[in-house]
Structure 1
Amino acid sequence: MVVVWSKKARLELKKVFNYIALDSLKHAILVRDEIIDLTIALSEHSEKYALDKYKIDNDGSWRAFEKYHYRVSYKITATQIRVVRLRHTSKSPLYYK
């Protein structure tokens, strides 16, 4: 299965990278690359992570994981795994439909 990042999620990852790079380019690259690698691995085992507890009426296709205090939410469909959100865990939880 193919992993696709939404435009919004790609933009958030870019913001994370730029923010961390202000202090350390090395760490910005590390965080970005590890998050990307974890999403790529979803193509082999898409249900590895827990259901997304912030998705209202989750039908089981919405899942999420955290790395470096960033929460990555994704949706599993018949043809793809769509990364829809990247959010720092220090922010208030965002419930969504």
Structure 2
Amino acid sequence: MKNALKRINEESYLQAERVEEGILSALEKAKENPERYPKDKFKRNNQGDFRAIETFSYRVAYRYTEKELRVLRIRHVKQEPKKY
């Protein structure tokens, strides 16, 4: 996320802040209700605990358990998706 924000910041500091706030806000919502976002379609054998958020052209993949929500990957949506 730091690298993405650094690249955005080179063009526009304000846009970098908006993207960061958008991603963090979406993650906060996911923390409150982990099933709010759809199952991650790029996760093989996904039983539903791997989810993905798309915001500001970034895709944030996460996994949740009873104890935690762990961010696994943040990628721009135009990048080639990686199955995992």
**Common topology (TM > 0.5):** yes
Question: 1:54 aligned to 2:42?
Answer: yes
Moved over 4 A (4+): none
Q: Distance in 2 between matches of 1:16 and 1:32?
A: 10
Q: Distance in 1 between matches of 2:56 and 2:21?
A: 12
TM-score of the aligned structures, taking structure 2 as reference length: 0.95
Aligned length, in residue pairs = 84
> What whole-Å deviation, never above 9, does each CA across 1:29-84 have from its counterpart, x for those lacking one?
11011101110121211100110000011111000010111000000112011111
Q: Distance in 2 between matches of 1:37 and 1:46?
A: 13
Q: 1:87 aligns with which of 72, 75, 82?
A: 75
Using CA pairs under 8 Å that are at least 6 residues apart, name the structure with larger relative contact order, 1 or 2: 1
Name the SS of the counterpart of 1:22 in structure 2.
Answer: helix
Q: List gaps (5 residues or longer) in structure 2.
A: none
RMSD: 0.8
Higher helix share: 2
TM-score of the aligned structures, taking structure 1 as reference length: 0.83
**Percentage identity across paired residues of the two chains:** 35
Q: Distance in 2 between matches of 1:63 and 1:43?
A: 12
Check conservation: 2:49, 2:63, Cα contact below 8 A. yes
Q: List gaps (5 residues or longer) in structure 1.
A: 1-12
Question: 1:26 aligned to 2:10?
Answer: no
